[in-house]
Chain A
């Protein structure tokens, strides 16, 4: 399919059906709407789960939802709300409005945009299909180890959850890199960084977090998956692994994740307050700076989620400091928002009312968060209802209130109709009161000692009344949401007469019709931007509304064409992951569909002609074309992923947990392998250079040589692995587990890189590339350089470092530098002290014979060690 010239809005008989159109569209507005609707559906599902939980907890000793099923419902509630509702709904608004607000026609990578949506949908579907695969995840959305090991969750439910989450995670990464490339490259001429709307700043900061932090949860969950499927584990204490390592990796993402869940809404607050106070945002620079500051510091606070499990006063103190630090830019925002409203001509519609409620509720949330930075207080409140109150306060009193506000603000733009204001005020009242009735009791419950994730509590302990009140509130919230849905439905029936700018707002999305045409704008905007309020400034400068000379002819507008490859590639990935859960042939079918679709996608030109493509790819604010700009960010996420793996490796090495196997990997072989890889980087670099200088034959030849060198690397790796596996067992030795995890991950990237280079070779031979247009070669080249660059570090860290440093002296007291307690060291005979061995199987031991006669035992340690040995013998005997 090639691109189309823009055309007037009327539909003709030959237009595809609306649902077929949605399957193949790359229009950012339609994709935004799909994200919006899908997110709200998941919100409803997560909300039903919440109501079930609240019913169960409303009175003591209820039997409505207990035990394993309760744990599964709470896991689905948390996972749905966070991964399938709040993060994607930000993508909904971001996709719809970032291009409009910067005066662009679409996102930088339209097909990638569609792909991200399908990954999200299919990831969510896969997670929800878990019961079909035999179970559901039950360890909470955090899935801590060892409860997440196959020992304690044998069903495939958690595997489905993990793999579904990978799709959703990639959606997040791809969406993020697209937003960054769009904001950087596609801003209208004249719109400098100081005139970019606050919402765009918010989405940029959010996208940084999505791209660079998501690899944390990828590493944590995929390592869990490895443990569950092939027993290679960095977390298994029996071989020296550490469950706290899982927590570090998980929270390294999940803390920035909560800012992903909140920053976009901060941006929308900064859009709504000025419009409905009729004055500019107070402190634009401070707010933009604070947004970036929050994003940066959010990478430094993750361990405040594990104050109770690290066991290190030093780490606790450091993270207390950084956690308090992140409160400062957040406070700056609140004060700037109040200053915006100060002396404003306030319009009290639903969007504004919900935003004002937000300021109040979010301040309380921030306060309770600062309380949690007080480490000893968190020692009391961690995993209690205080924390539950705090994060719901931030996410509902914060994010969801602004989600509603954003819908009320932008509904006219997206649909051409206004939402009913009376129903909107009912929604505000029900949610403002309902929120407080539901969640303020939770603060009290935390203080009264109620832990979280419990399905019941006893009568008479004093928690009943607060739980009952809370449940009443939750039904108020449910009623409000139903009212909201009703409002949307009846408002959609009204005629489309909202007009371009019903709020007399200031940013560029209001400079076109409601809803916008497919091509967004047909106006040549002025190129003077004085502030983040272009429409306000242009009116004052008499540059707005535009006159006839500024209107563009539709023939000059080119739009990217629809494509079914993003959908099919996503389908292939879903089928492949489902196949992995089933551990069957479906995996290969899925892989095949994915490969065919992805390759077809790369063969498909984005635009109808080279001129158009050149125009689109290069007519941008930096000299970097859209494809490469996005790719650089993607490579950033890859670097982050390997950083996670190396951090895990060094954590285990420096804390003395790693024992070296009898046979270490062959460093000489590794160095030979390195020359293959480095050589291949040289060849691919020259190949690309030759392409740019139209030396076709050498380009093809060197590209082929690159692939051959890469294959040599893989071949030697296979030999090396074979040798190591003959003498060592990665399921028994922590160094080998880390070695195979890291080199395996790297090897996977080599295979992906070689596949991309092979496709480039074929396309190059077919003449698809020209010196000016060769994304299909540029991208694999950059990827290949990354793969080779990472290898240098693999060589250094995993092969060379252990030749001279193998951990702190383990003969006596191995002291963890981050903790002051000695860790559990094996005794001389190799037996682990009592309580540290992971049981080998899950069968309950009910020995048939009666107890052995008692021995004379000297000490508790002896007795427990003896017990351990006996248990092991009993289990082996079964």
Chain B
């Protein structure tokens, strides 16, 4: 009893002090697998509640009998005679073998049914296909039907299933959007499929879930689920080059983009769509994050990303180009103008969603001015 109380008070204390010290409501922002944004995730959640519910019953039975045995043992601890020397009971053995078997058989039926319903194999015909390529430490998304190529932020329409063809370009990775579906590993030499139907608009979080190198922790992704009309707008704009102004800093940035060698890895529509070693930057200004989801896309973060790439993201494939502050500012200004033509992503995503998930990432890992 005393131990239980100590435990409870320890828990209450730590939770409340942490809550007071830090985030107000720690659950809301987390990409929880409960309360998902797709019927796929909710089906898994249903299975979860089944197994937890049944398990809690078993746990209660176990704790009850164990507790009773302990309590009786405490009460009778001064009795010196030998307790009844019972060796076993066949009926009990059979009972507590058969009942768990029945419970598990029930769970197995539910499980196998869901496996076949949720496997990539069962992706609906009308699904929007996206080819996903994972590599250290970012994601490339190619939409074969529309020809759009983008990176790290997957944009999908609500209400239509999306079928992801997952391939790796180097080591094993794993594509996980907890609020939409279970994860699927990207295995080099293999083609895996994952599907789900987003049915909630907004901006959601995902992450690589298979240790893939120094910056596995930094291989994150985001998914933007838009209303179908908004998605259509996005899709159209995504195939058009950004219009940059002729402002001097922007033009300087655009020239540095080429002379410093950025163009040799990064495609930008209207400049170069051939070199795709790194993420496509055609509309980088419209993305909510940079560095594969690790930094909010704002001016300061971009400058720091450009200047201290390998400190922000250890092991990153992008070399440190030794940019000066002025050069980085110029390129950043240029990049910030590479936006989707005639599309206001922030408005489409919505202020609330942006606030929820657009974590204050002003601080960069390491790296000083």
Contacts and interface: CB of A to CB of B under 8 A. Distances in A.
A376 B44 contact: yes
Contacts of A647: none
A47 to B, nearest CB: 21
B224 to A, nearest CB: 17
B187 A309 contact: yes
B232 interface: no
B263 A850 contact: yes
A452 to B, nearest CB: 8
A41 interface: no
Nearest to B147: A860
Given A374-B111, A836-B167, A346 B14 contact: no
A826 B188 CA distance: 14
Contacts of B273: 854
A433 B263 CA distance: 56
A345 B3 CA distance: 22
Interface in B64-80: 65-66, 68-70, 72-74, 76-77, 79
A271 B187 CA distance: 46
B31 A449 contact: yes
A361 to B, nearest CB: 11
Given A320-B115, A823-B191, A465 B26 contact: yes
Given A429-B3, A455-B217, A850-B258, A345 B29 contact: no
Interface in B109-165: 110-112, 114-116, 118-121, 131, 133, 142, 144, 147, 149
B272 A844 contact: no
A814 B192 CA distance: 15
Nearest to A835: B167
B32 interface: yes
A152 B62 contact: no
Nearest to B99: A331
A804 to B, nearest CB: 27
B191 A345 contact: no
Interface in B88-120: 88-89, 92-93, 96-97, 100-101, 104, 107-108, 110-112, 114-116, 118-120
Interface string B18-59: 110011001111111110000001011001100110011011
A861 B149 CA distance: 12
A437 B10 CA distance: 8
Contacts of A286: 88, 93
A807 to B, nearest CB: 15
Interface string A790-820: 0000000000000000000000000000001
A147 B44 CA distance: 30
B350 interface: no
Contacts of A436: 7
A468 interface: yes
B26 A464 contact: yes
A154 interface: no
Nearest to B96: A335
B28 A462 contact: yes
B33 A449 contact: yes
A278 B263 contact: no
B277 interface: yes
A243 B172 contact: yes
A612 interface: no
B11 interface: yes
B190 A370 contact: no
A451 B360 CA distance: 21
Contacts of B85: 279-280
B215 interface: yes
Given A283-B88, A343-B84, A345-B79, A448 B32 contact: yes
Contacts of A63: 365-366
Contacts, number: 396
A86 interface: no
B182 interface: yes
A344 interface: yes
Nearest to A372: B51
Contacts of B108: 320-321, 324
B172 A146 contact: yes
A331 B88 CA distance: 16
B326 interface: no
Contact of B211 (A140, A839, A850): A140
B3 to A, nearest CB: 6
Nearest to A345: B83
A667 interface: no
Interface in B173-190: 174, 176, 178-179, 181-185, 187-190
Interface in A417-470: 429, 432-433, 436-437, 447-466, 468-469
A845 B277 contact: yes
Contacts of B22: 464-465, 468
B115 A346 contact: no
Given A320-B115, A370-B51, A377-B48, A844 B317 contact: yes
Contacts of B3: 429, 432-433
A448 B27 contact: yes
A761 to B, nearest CB: 48
Contact of A462 (B26, B131, B184): B26
A377 B178 CA distance: 11
A447 B84 contact: no
Contacts of A336: 88, 93
Given A282-B86, A311-B190, A377-B47, A345 B77 contact: yes
A458 B363 CA distance: 10
A379 B183 contact: yes
Interface stretch (A234-242, A484-492, A551-559, A585-593): A234-242
Given A71-B211, A324-B107, A454-B217, A836 B30 contact: no
Contact of B83 (A244, A344, A382, A861): A344
Nearest to A364: B59
B115 A338 contact: no
A371 interface: yes
Nearest to A386: B33
Contacts of A244: 187, 190
B234 interface: no
Interface stretch (B202-210, B246-254, B298-306, B331-339): B202-210
Nearest to B48: A377
Interface string A776-798: 00000000000000000000000
B243 interface: no
B211 A345 contact: no
Given A321-B108, A433-B10, A451-B209, A280 B86 contact: yes
B214 A68 contact: yes
Nearest to B182: A379
B241 interface: no
B88 A285 contact: yes
B277 to A, nearest CB: 6
The interface centre, meaning the residue of B18, B88, B107, B265 with most chain A CB atoms within 10 A of its CB, is B88
A177 interface: no
Contact of B360 (A240, A317, A324, A459): A459
Contact of B14 (A144, A468, A838): A468
Contact of A243 (B10, B48, B187): B187
Given A379-B184, A465-B23, 4 more contacts: A343-B83, A344-B73, A374-B47, A836-B167
Enumerate the 7 nearest inter-chain pairs by beta-carbon distance, A residue then B residue, closest first: A379-B182, A237-B189, A346-B73, A67-B314, A462-B30, A454-B217, A449-B31
Interface of B: 3, 6-7, 10-11, 14-15, 18-19, 22-23, 26-34, 41, 43-44, 47-48, 51-52, 55-56, 58-59, 62-63, 65-66, 68-70, 72-74, 76-77, 79, 82-89, 92-93, 96-97, 100-101, 104, 107-108, 110-112, 114-116, 118-121, 131, 133, 142, 144, 147, 149, 167-172, 174, 176, 178-179, 181-185, 187-193, 205, 207-217, 258, 261, 263-265, 272-277, 294, 314-315, 317, 319, 359-361, 363, 365-366
16 contacts: A279-B86, A306-B185, A343-B72, A345-B82, A363-B59, A376-B43, A376-B115, A449-B30, A451-B209, A465-B26, A821-B193, A835-B133, A835-B188, A836-B188, A860-B147, A870-B274
